[in-house]
Structure formats: structure tokens, C-alpha cells
């Protein structure tokens, strides 16, 4: 029997599982919700539920979407021959905010847990290989973060596409090691994309 009644304990435990939320913050948030007006708390629960119920991975790029196919893949104005590989939807959103990328994406999948992430990335890389083998892809750009996890993802993709006969490039080396694409300004991101480096792969 803990210091808090069971439903509250359960909420504290659930909030404590979130990234960046320590035990004290989890308690503070739980008490906030306990004291909040019921509609506020119910809306939060409904929003969480909607994210899990209504979104699923796009069958092509794996980005979360409520539609059968995501808006970007379904857009005939986007260049389907140019695929930008990103780790999560957060980097995808950063490139979309930048607004100067006209191709499509492949989302490798989150870092929620290492094992989960690896499984998801393996499925995404397999999907990417299929897309490339369709023969309509001219170039795969690796837009992974310049950090340990991103470099690992980058190497996996390069290894998988080595014999695929497609041009493989990566973002320009101007990005500082450990930088997070999500927080880079549009001009820096645009420059990194425009001045991308070839990693080979062409036949």
C-alpha cells in the first residue's frame, strides 16, 4: 500500500514512464490533473486515446497518418523519385517547416525503446529497399541526426542499399555533431540539404 490512493498511484506511474519526466514531475502533473477541471483532464485522456486509435503508419513512408496513405505520399506534386530518410516524424516536420524539400520521406521510427526502435527501423529499411527496387527512385538522402543513434541508422541504410543501384547522399557536414535536426533553423537545414554529399551507390 503506497502513500497515494491507487488511481493516483497508477497515474503517477504512467506519467513517470514518459521521457524526461522524473518521479517528482510525475507527481506534480498527477496532482495538477487531480485538481484540474474534469473537462481538461478528460480532453487530455481523449487526445491520447485519439493519437493511438486514429493514427497508423503510412504504408509507404511509415509516417503516422489518419488517412489510408499520408498527405505527402498522396501528393502528386511531390517528387516520388527523391526519398529523404529521417529518424522520426519530428525531423520530418522540421524539413516540412523549412519548406524547400519537394520529395518524399521514409521514417525509420522512434527511440521509445532500443529493441522496439531497431525492429521498427528494420521494417522501414526493408520498405525503403522495396521502394528503391521499383526503379522509380533516383536518390535516397540520409537526413539522420548527426549523433550516435543517427550515425548507426545511417550505416544500416547505406549497408541495405549498397547494391540497389541508387544514388545515396547525406546531409552536408556543416551540422555540428550532436545537433538535433528538429531544432535547427530553416536556413541551416536548407543548406545542409542543398550541399549534400554523395555516399556513392550509383551504378
Instruction: List residues binding Zn ion (CB under 5 A).
Output: 58, 60-61, 70, 73
Q: Least Å distance between CB 151 and Zn ion?
A: 25
Q: Least Å distance between CB 148 and Zn ion?
A: 27
Nearer to Zn ion, 133 or 162 (CB): 133
Nearer to Zn ion, 84 or 142 (CB): 84
Nearer to Zn ion, 21 or 123 (CB): 123
- Written as nine digits, the cell of 199 is 555516399
Q: Least Å distance between CB 30 and Zn ion?
A: 36
Nearer to Zn ion, 71 or 202 (CB): 71
Instruction: Give me the phi and psi of 35, to 5 degrees please.
Output: -90, -15
Q: Least Å distance between CB 42 and Zn ion?
A: 32
Amino acid at each position: 500500500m503506497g502513500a497515494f490512493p491507487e488511481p493516483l498511484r497508477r497515474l503517477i506511474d504512467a506519467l513517470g514512464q514518459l521521457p524526461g519526466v522524473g518521479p517528482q514531475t510525475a507527481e506534480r502533473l498527477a496532482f495538477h490533473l487531480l485538481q484540474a477541471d474534469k473537462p481538461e483532464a478528460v480532453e487530455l485522456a481523449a487526445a491520447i486515446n485519439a493519437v493511438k486509435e486514429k493514427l497508423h503508419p503510412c504504408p509507404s513512408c511509415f509516417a503516422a497518418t489518419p488517412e489510408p496513405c499520408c498527405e505527402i505520399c498522396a501528393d502528386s506534386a511531390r517528387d516520388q523519385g527523391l526519398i529523404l530518410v529521417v529518424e522520426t516524424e519530428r525531423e520530418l516536420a522540421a524539413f516540412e517547416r523549412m519548406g524547400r524539400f519537394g520529395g518524399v520521406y521514409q521514417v525509420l521510427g522512434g527511440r521509445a525503446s532500443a529493441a522496439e526502435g531497431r525492429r521498427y527501423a528494420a521494417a522501414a529499411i526493408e520498405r525503403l529497399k522495396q521502394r528503391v527496387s521499383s526503379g522509380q527512385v533516383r536518390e535516397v538522402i540520409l537526413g539522420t541526426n548527426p549523433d550516435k543513434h543517427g550515425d548507426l541508422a545511417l550505416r544500416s541504410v547505406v549497408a541495405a542499399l549498397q547494391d540497389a543501384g541508387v544514388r545515396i547522399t547525406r546531409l552536408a557536414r556543416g551540422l555540428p555533431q550532436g545537433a538535433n535536426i528538429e531544432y535547427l533553423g530553416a536556413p541551416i537545414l536548407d543548406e545542409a540539404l542543398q550541399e549534400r554529399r554523395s555516399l556513392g551507390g550509383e551504378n
